[in-house]
Every structure is written in C-alpha cells, then in structure tokens.
Amino acid sequence: MTDDTLQGGLSLLVDTERQLDSDLAAARVLATRLVEAAQAEAASRKRGLEAEVAASVLALKAEVDDERCRRLEQVVTDARREVDAYDGVSDERVRKIARVLVARLVADDGNAAR
C-alpha cells in the first residue's frame, strides 16, 4: 500500500465517521421530536378522557338527583293519599273502632290472666 492509498482510506474513514455522527445527531433530534409529539398526544388524550369522565360523573349525579326527587315526590303523594284516607274517616267511626279495640284488648288480657 502506498501512502496515498493509506491516506485516501483514512480520509474516507474520517468522512464516513463524520457522516455517521451527523446522521446520529439528526436521528437523536428526530427521536426527541417524536417523543415530545407522542407525549403531547398522550396528554391531550388524557385530558379528553378526563373530560369524558367528568361529564359522565355530572350526568350520573343529575340522574341520581332526579331519581331522588321522583322518589321524594312519590313518598309525599303516598303520604297525602293516606292522610286524605284517614281524614275521610269520621270522628264517630274512629271512636267506635277505638272502643272495639279497647274491649278486645281488655278481653284478651282477661283470658291471658287465667
């Protein structure tokens, strides 16, 4: 091998190494950009999912509140119906029923004591 050949081979090797270093640096920059883009996309999707969850929680709370109101209204309606039914019973009828109940209780107490 001549010095020129050796020098040419060395020069080619140095140029190749420089090119590889340049390619590696460019690949690192590209990889950094890709990672940053992926992280931004992940963060965006996470925010979207968090918003969906928050909206679902609000909808569920509204549904539970609506159901609670419906049940409360039903309890009030039932109570009014029972009050109205009781109000429809005359005082005289209540007294008669009370006398009959007291008589039965007294009669049962007398039987139980024997």
pLDDT tens figures, 97-110: 999 999 999 988 66
What pLDDT, on the 0 to 100 scale, is given for residue 69? 97
**What pLDDT does 1 receive?**
62
Q: Looking at per-residue confidence, does 88 or 73 come out higher?
A: 73
Q: What is the pTM of this model?
A: 0.51
Summarised one tens digit per residue, pLDDT across range 6-56 is: 787 889 999 999 999 999 999 999 999 999 999 999 999 999 999 999 999
Q: What single DSSP character describes residue 84?
A: H
Mean pLDDT in residue range 85-96: 89
* Distance of alpha carbon 6 from the chain centroid: 73
Quote the CA–CA distance of 101 and 94 in Å, as a whole number: 10
Domain locations in the chain? Answer: 3-113
